[in-house]
Structure 1
Amino acid sequence: MEQKSKFDKVMGAWDILVIAFGAMIGWGWVINSGDWITTAGFAGSIMAMLIGGLMVIFVGLTYAELTSAMPQCGGEHIFSYRAMGATGSFICTWMIILGYVATSAFEATALPTVITYLFPDFNQVYLYTVAGRDIYLTTIVLGVAVAIFITAINLAGAKTAAILQTVLTAAIAIAGILLVVGSAINGDMSNISGQVWESGAGTTVSSVFKVACMTPFLFIGFDVIPQAAEEINVPYKKVGRIMLLSIFLAVLWYLLIVFAVCYIMPDSAIAAEMGAQNGLVTAKAIELAFHTPVMGKVLIIGGLCGIVTSWNSFLMGGSRALYSMGESRMIPKRFGELGKFKTPKDAILLCGLACCIAPFFGRSVLVWLVDAASFGCVIAYLFVSISFCILRKKRPDMARPYKVKAGKFVGAMAVIMAGFMTLLYIVPASFSAALVWQEWVVVGTWLALGVFFYCYSRKKYGAEFGRDIFVITDDTKEKADADKEAISIVSAKEKYTGRKHFVITVGCEYGSGGPEIGRMIAEHFGIEYYDRDLVDKVVAELGVDEDLVREADNRKDVRYGFDTSYGVRYANLSNRVIDAQFKVIREFAEKSSCVIIGRSSDYILRDRTDVMNVFIYAPEEDEVKNIMKSEGLSEQEARSKRSLIEKAQHARHLYITGTERGDRRSRDIMVNSSMIGWEETADYLISVIERRFDMEKKALPKEA
């Protein structure tokens, strides 16, 4: 289904860079650097970051190409849908949402925890204990208050969220740069030589992989860019480059942090700090670099800013992923609607609600969520990498403003590395980070919830489930306008002499190529083509929400009498849509020569003498194959969708006309489009139309 973007393009190059980079650097470098170094040592940590970074770079290359080719809200949802169909897209998007929402919820508990490093007496009014950790009223109030603030910022618009991100990312960068510069000036290489390798997880190799397993959580964030693609006012080729730049900067950032800590602190100092109450090695490192505890506070403030930048980005990404699923009717459609500020209001509110609930459970429980979130992200990365490979083979002609060189190699490496990371979370081994049983409970619960929504939405929305939304971008519109202008020029040169007014109605079975063949006919004659325009015109006529009109337009159980199934406000909506279509189709036919697709237009225009009624069909197996190819569906999904749509169209045509849709008595010509192919069928119909309306081609002047 084609539609214009509903979002405002408000974000520039800098905005998307800080959204991605700010999410990736976050606050993990403040909290976890001591864990990396004591587990794998200096060289082991560097190697682990490079392994994780390499995986993300290969995956990032696939994202960069796919985002430039399909710049639509939802990112992973769109990529996987075009490659794998509705079911593959559902799994991929559902898992990335787990990553975004779980990480956002964790930040709501992390913030009060970091505050206690600045204000040791912050925890006041004990309430209860969860998983061995005490819960205090002050931590709940702070976590909920900041959750409400960030939710409000995101509701106010993507640009507002981007401005907040810029300010906070600058604060993080200042704190990190101070650490690196101070360490470089006052550190000593002997500190590194004493902790080159560690084997805190068993062997050196297992220690390196143990740290490498932490990197997906660190590098989550670049994928927020494709989630908000429709809100970005940047050339698509440049978007891909910015995404890769954010990844390179994040990898460099973590490498510098590891170097700075090890260069200023010997292994004994790091071990001592890890055994202290706070265990913030980076804060201690900057204190040693500048010889004052004040700088430790400065760095912790940078860590607080990092919590908010990650939180802000993931809430933005999670809400857009939910929006894309709602718009495709994979979850309740209310999540696919925008609010007054052109943001997905209900999706943002749902993510915000999860963040408000999180502080009541405490950090211990939510640590399980973080590991489950990382697992969800690598699953999504794997699906996107596979989608990249499929689309390279399936759609080689797809426009790719940013096209990756050595695509087969990049795609294969992305699949291998993302697959390897996925296995590290599944297979228990000394070098893996396999999920513990509590984390499997989280993943299992999330999957069960996904199965529920999948089944519920398929039943509720029928053929609308998993609908493919093709957003017409400015570039697409410009090309369409240029094509239309070219057609007008051909018409102006009078391709035919003495051409009369005529109308072609095209009824068709789903998957037979009727709309495509109808468009070829319209382009040949340089006349108007009406398909989705009918819905737009009816929306304007009735003043009713577009989604309601589309649902009523495709409904098979149209009711006689007073129908309030859409609510009293929209009483008799299906019949009102049909009445409006009668009026609109007659207006189109009167205005100019045209091709009209479906909507029982043959019946509506039955009293006109300048109409030729065409019906296009094909064997069911051919129609199913066409649907599979054009929509990326499995055979079962394509067959099910065809059956649902055909039943709805037959029922509506019978309700409107009292006759069967394929009744030869209401058609002038019926054609099997599979017999000679769509283009040849269009050429054949063009020749019939020329004879039917006595068109004579204008003789072209002979060359001298």
Structure 2
Amino acid sequence: MTFVHFFMLGFGSMVGVGWAVSSNRWLAQSGGVIPAFIGFIIGTLLLLPIGLSHSSLMKRMPVSGGVMVYGYRAFGTGISFIGAWFVALAYLTILPWEAIYINNILINLFPALKMGQPIYHVLGSPVYLSGAILGLVFALGLLLINLKGSKLAGKLQSFLSYLIIVSGIIVIITSFIKFDVNNLTPIYENIGVGTHKNIFFGIVTMIVLVPFFMAGFDTIPQSIEERSPKTSQKAVSKALLTSIAAAGIFYAFIILSTGGASSWQAYSQQPSPAMATMLQGLYPGLIGQVLYWIIMIGTLAGLFSTWNGMFMAAVRLLDTMGTSGLLPGFFAKKGKQGKIPLGATIFCFVAAAIGPLIGFNIIDSLTSLGSVAFVLGWFITCISALRIERKSKDPLTKSTVVSVVISSIILILTFIPGQPAYMGNLSLVLFAIWMVIGVIFYYFTNYGDRGISEEERRLKLFGTVEQPSLEIREE
């Protein structure tokens, strides 16, 4: 993989999640265009120190595994497992999230998919047989692509990322053409979504949502071992940081341009695909039709991009956890040729296939759960960077300290009921269930003489039984 491939992997995984399907909901959740715009800019700036911590650790340990490897080198097996297990939850949360949105958009495009009576309801959301089958077919397609290997999946990721960029630029330009500053008013208003009562807490609400929609950058450390010989460590680090900045700028312009193209209160309440519908209404005739389908293609490309990117990252992480003895051997099981991580791939397919079966109303809970899981993983990465810097000969960097403070504050706020950042009761229950499952897996994998030795674990993680050097590698 080259600089461009790494950049596209991170950028595509980030912007694919919500630019076309969730950006109008952000206006409702934060109380307006301005709080959403400011919140996203601040959220992006807060992520840069966290990105720098990832970058520093990548240079010291250029091996796949991300937080699992970093946590192990800094604190040992227990912290390594906790970080990796919850980052796995974050990736796996996105798989049904994407499947739900893809299914929902296709149902809106083709109403015949929801003809007849629902087969059941989940949290009041109807689930139709034809829609569920369609979602399962797409999940199966994702499985088959990844069973072909990372090369095909990587090429698909780059192609989809280019589609996102082109369609996103078209949206920004055409929205700014219709931009009216009066559409930004009122600057703040709680329209019945969330508990915030002023613009400050509206901005805070948006900041807390940012991690879920900007989480794709940590797919880059998961893929570091696939860099080409001509691609330096420094280039990969630049790809990580520039992908964060580019995705944040992209999202901010999407919020400002589309939010100012029509009444933001009305736009924020439109069902998906709200952006395509809005621009079709602003540009009557053939131009509106063309814009509608360009946005729909970009929307689906974005959803598939993140779906594929997170699938790839989740498979790699679970496979590495299984190989290094942190999870049962099933997760390390390989295909006939010994290359495809079959066990981890099947597990991720099940997570993706659940989406079309659980309805649309669980979306907000999945978003909150994924955000908390990502922030927990980032927090462990940041404290690992802090501890490793203290152990090494290099001076402690301010960005590492800042990253620990930022990630810890956000993490704490998500567990306090009544706060705008609180994850919600259902998300908290799901978080606890995942924690219990992790304890069971870890206990039965490592109980007594079932686990592997630390020397063998280091060999699998780092390629050597010795602890890897903490020196920064610039090759």
Question: Normalized against structure 1, the TM-score is what?
Answer: 0.61
1:281, 1:159 → 2: CA distance? 34
Structure with more relative contact order (C-alpha pairs < 8 Å, separation 6 or more): 2
Q: Percent identity?
A: 27
Among 436, 444, 464, the alignment partner of 2:453 is 464
Aligned 8 A contact 2:107 2:113 in 1: yes
Give the aligned partner of residue 423 of structure 1. 412
Among 382, 393, 403, the alignment partner of 1:414 is 403
Q: Which aligned pairs between 1:124-163 and structure 2 lie closer than 5 A?
A: 124-125=115-116, 126-163=118-155
SS at match of 2:119: strand
Give the aligned partner of residue 255 of structure 1. 252
Question: Is 1:23 matched with 2:13?
Answer: yes
Is the alpha carbon distance of 1:436 and 1:335 closer, same or farther for their aligned partners in structure 2, counting shifts above 3 Å?
Answer: same
Give the aligned partner of residue 651 of structure 1. none
What residue identity is the alignment partner of 2:311? L
Give the aligned partner of residue 504 of structure 1. none
Is the alpha carbon distance of 1:367 and 1:36 closer, same or farther for their aligned partners in structure 2, counting shifts above 3 Å?
Answer: closer
Question: Is 1:87 matched with 2:78?
Answer: yes
Is the alpha carbon distance of 1:93 and 1:27 closer, same or farther for their aligned partners in structure 2, counting shifts above 3 Å?
Answer: closer
Give the aligned partner of residue 217 of structure 2. 222
What residue identity is the alignment partner of 1:335? F
Give the aligned partner of residue 537 of structure 1. none
Among 339, 342, 346, the alignment partner of 1:342 is 339
Question: Which has the higher Rg, Structure 1 or Structure 2?
Answer: 1
SS at match of 2:126: strand
Aligned 8 A contact 2:267 2:278 in 1: no
Aligned 8 A contact 1:40 1:211 in 2: no
Give the aligned partner of residue 358 of structure 2. 361
Is the alpha carbon distance of 1:281 and 1:105 closer, same or farther for their aligned partners in structure 2, counting shifts above 3 Å?
Answer: closer
Give the aligned partner of residue 26 of structure 2. 36
SS at match of 1:468: helix
Question: Is 1:437 matched with 2:428?
Answer: no
Give the aligned partner of residue 173 of structure 1. 165
Aligned 8 A contact 1:261 1:281 in 2: no
Is the alpha carbon distance of 1:375 and 1:185 closer, same or farther for their aligned partners in structure 2, counting shifts above 3 Å?
Answer: same
Among 449, 453, 477, the alignment partner of 2:437 is 449
What residue identity is the alignment partner of 2:237? G
What residue identity is the alignment partner of 1:361? I
Shift of 1:366: 5.2
Among 286, 297, 312, the alignment partner of 1:301 is 297
1:365, 1:183 → 2: CA distance? 30
Is the alpha carbon distance of 1:273 and 1:410 closer, same or farther for their aligned partners in structure 2, counting shifts above 3 Å?
Answer: closer
Q: Which aligned pairs between 1:586-625 and structure 2 lie closer than 5 A?
A: none
2:102, 2:45 → 1: CA distance? 30
What residue identity is the alignment partner of 1:436? G
2:418, 2:190 → 1: CA distance? 15
Shift of 1:407: 4.8
Is the alpha carbon distance of 1:414 and 1:224 closer, same or farther for their aligned partners in structure 2, counting shifts above 3 Å?
Answer: same
1:280, 1:334 → 2: CA distance? 39
Is the alpha carbon distance of 1:242 and 1:437 closer, same or farther for their aligned partners in structure 2, counting shifts above 3 Å?
Answer: same
1:386, 1:50 → 2: CA distance? 24
Give the aligned partner of residue 319 of structure 1. 315
2:363, 2:187 → 1: CA distance? 33
Aligned 8 A contact 2:63 2:462 in 1: no
Aligned 8 A contact 1:168 1:309 in 2: yes
What residue identity is the alignment partner of 1:427? I
Shift of 1:289: 5.1
2:98, 2:54 → 1: CA distance? 26
Q: Which aligned pairs between 1:490-505 and structure 2 lie closer than 5 A?
A: none
Structure 1 residues 37-82: Cα deviation after superposition (integer angstroms, max 9, x where no partner): 2433232112110221122111111111111221212111111110
Aligned 8 A contact 2:24 2:259 in 1: no
Is the alpha carbon distance of 1:285 and 1:124 closer, same or farther for their aligned partners in structure 2, counting shifts above 3 Å?
Answer: closer
Moved more, 116-125 or 41-50: 116-125
Question: Is 1:164 matched with 2:156?
Answer: yes
Among 49, 60, 80, the alignment partner of 1:69 is 60
Shift of 1:306: 1.2
What residue identity is the alignment partner of 1:197? Y
Aligned 8 A contact 1:182 1:289 in 2: no
1:443, 1:231 → 2: CA distance? 32
Is the alpha carbon distance of 1:109 and 1:36 closer, same or farther for their aligned partners in structure 2, counting shifts above 3 Å?
Answer: closer
Shift of 1:91: 0.3
Shift of 1:461: 2.7
Structure 1 residues 433-474: Cα deviation after superposition (integer angstroms, max 9, x where no partner): 21222111111110000100111111253353682236678x
Shift of 1:16: 1.8
| Structure (1 or 2) with the greater strand fraction | 1
What residue identity is the alignment partner of 1:331? L
2:461, 2:348 → 1: CA distance? 25
What residue identity is the alignment partner of 2:377? A
SS at match of 2:120: strand
SS at match of 2:390: helix
2:446, 2:339 → 1: CA distance? 27
Give the aligned partner of residue 44 of structure 2. 53
Aligned 8 A contact 2:90 2:371 in 1: yes
User: What is the aligned length?
Assistant: 455
Question: Normalized against structure 2, the TM-score is what?
Answer: 0.89
Give the aligned partner of residue 373 of structure 2. 376
Is the alpha carbon distance of 1:444 and 1:55 closer, same or farther for their aligned partners in structure 2, counting shifts above 3 Å?
Answer: same
RMSD (Å) for aligned C-alpha atoms: 2.4
1:337, 1:228 → 2: CA distance? 19
Shift of 1:224: 0.5
SS at match of 1:426: coil
| Structure (1 or 2) with the greater helix fraction | 2
2:74, 2:5 → 1: CA distance? 29
Runs of 4+ that moved beyond 4 A: 470-473
Is the alpha carbon distance of 1:96 and 1:27 closer, same or farther for their aligned partners in structure 2, counting shifts above 3 Å?
Answer: closer
SS at match of 2:112: coil
Aligned 8 A contact 2:328 2:445 in 1: yes
Is the alpha carbon distance of 1:142 and 1:279 closer, same or farther for their aligned partners in structure 2, counting shifts above 3 Å?
Answer: closer
1:196, 1:204 → 2: CA distance? 8
1:260, 1:375 → 2: CA distance? 29
Aligned 8 A contact 2:390 2:396 in 1: no
Is the alpha carbon distance of 1:48 and 1:64 closer, same or farther for their aligned partners in structure 2, counting shifts above 3 Å?
Answer: same
What residue identity is the alignment partner of 2:376? I
What residue identity is the alignment partner of 2:341? P
What residue identity is the alignment partner of 1:219? M
What residue identity is the alignment partner of 1:272? A
Q: Which aligned pairs between 1:548-559 and structure 2 lie closer than 5 A?
A: none
Shift of 1:412: 1.1
Aligned 8 A contact 1:328 1:464 in 2: no
